[in-house]
Structure 1
Amino acid sequence: MTLKNSVLAVGAVIAFSVFPTAFAGEQNSLIGTWRMISATVEHQGSSSDAYGPNPHGWLVFTPELTFVEVLTDPRVPPFRSNVRGEGTDEENRAAMLGSIGFFGRYTVNQNGEFTGNTVEGSTFPNWVGAVRTQDDLQLKVDGDRMVEDFRRPDGMKVHIVWERVK
């Protein structure tokens, strides 16, 4: 083995040890675009639709370990003004209650299973910088279905069923 090959081999071992998720692309079961099928919230034993009876939402996982998630309630009425920053207090409140969008980075283990994420940007500023582990966020993929279970800091449980977009 040449010195150059030895250096490359050692570099690969170090990179895999330090960044194991970067090499999980072929095994990463999350990669792709997912459409929200249903979303419910449970609080103090009561369950309700999180984004209405027919929620709209997309979740995209890239091979580069980034994600984007946008969830909306299609029943939120349009603003009277077509200028984004000119909604009334009532319109802004309805939009905030009926939607969330955020993005960031995620991690997977050597089997390509979700292990956590970090929110880098969000329409709810309090989530920026949030680090979620499997303790509060689980994503389980079964073929073209994925189930998301998330426990919010206030104890509310969110349950979302996703379907892979083909």
Structure 2
Amino acid sequence: MNLKRMLLALSALVALVLHGGAFAEKRNVLVGTWQMVEATLEREGVRSEAYGPRPHGWLVFTEELTFVEVLTDPRVPKFKSAVRGEGTDDENRAAMAGSIGFFGRYTVDENGEFAGNTVEGSTFPNWVGATRTRDDLTLDVDGDRMAEDFQRPDGTRVHIVWTRVK
């Protein structure tokens, strides 16, 4: 009787090892650091570069389901003052229009793909507390390349291309 149980347990262990992937969730395809390589806006059929011809930006997804995204246009001029809070109205306007930073939590589905996120902090206060699902925002990963697409409330479509940082 002990031999039967031992063989049954061994068979179960072999099946688990050989087919373990069938029982486990797929890995989170978002985890890692991503670098922005392209960002475009399209409104009423007119396309433009969102952060200039060579945008700067990083998007980091952690295994703990948190994210941080910072996007900047390197063409934004430096402030005359070396003190962050002492920019002129024009300097502050240019900095705000040429950058965004935000962070929060995200979820993935059973395939390890983006399911949604909630913004917990942002340089654009209106986004704090916002929750987006795949209906609002798509993040499609193909190996080390990711495409991000969403639409702003004014109808502008945003398309960002990312590459995984190695």
State the TM-score, normalized to the length of structure 1.
0.84
Q: Is 1:159 aligned to 2:144, yes or no?
A: no
Gaps of 5+ in 2: 1-23
Q: Is 1:68 aligned to 2:68, yes or no?
A: yes
CA distance in 2, matches of 1:154, 1:108: 28
CA distance in 1, matches of 2:42, 2:115: 23
CA distance in 2, matches of 1:155, 1:121: 24
What is the CA-CA distance between 1:150 and the residue it aligns to? 1.1
CA distance in 2, matches of 1:154, 1:132: 16
- 2:109 is matched with 109
What is the CA-CA distance between 1:44 and the residue it aligns to? 1.0
CA distance in 1, matches of 2:27, 2:163: 18
Map 1:66-145 onto structure 2 (within 5 A). Answer: 66-145=66-145
Q: Secondary structure at the match of 2:96?
A: helix
State the TM-score, normalized to the length of structure 2.
0.84
The structure that has the greater radius of gyration is 2
Aligned-partner residue type, residue 134 of structure 1: R
- 1:19 is matched with none
What is the CA-CA distance between 1:117 and the residue it aligns to? 0.4
**CA RMSD, Structure 1 to Structure 2 (Å):** 1.1
CA distance in 2, matches of 1:62, 1:153: 28
Q: Is the 8 A contact 1:107 1:115 kept in 2?
A: yes
Aligned-partner residue type, residue 55 of structure 1: P
Q: Report how many residues are paired.
A: 143
CA distance in 2, matches of 1:152, 1:108: 23
**Deviations along 1:60-107, whole A, 9 cap, x unmatched?**
000000000000000000000010100000000000000000000001
Q: Is the 8 A contact 1:40 1:47 kept in 2?
A: yes
What is the CA-CA distance between 1:56 and the residue it aligns to? 0.2
CA distance in 2, matches of 1:66, 1:47: 31
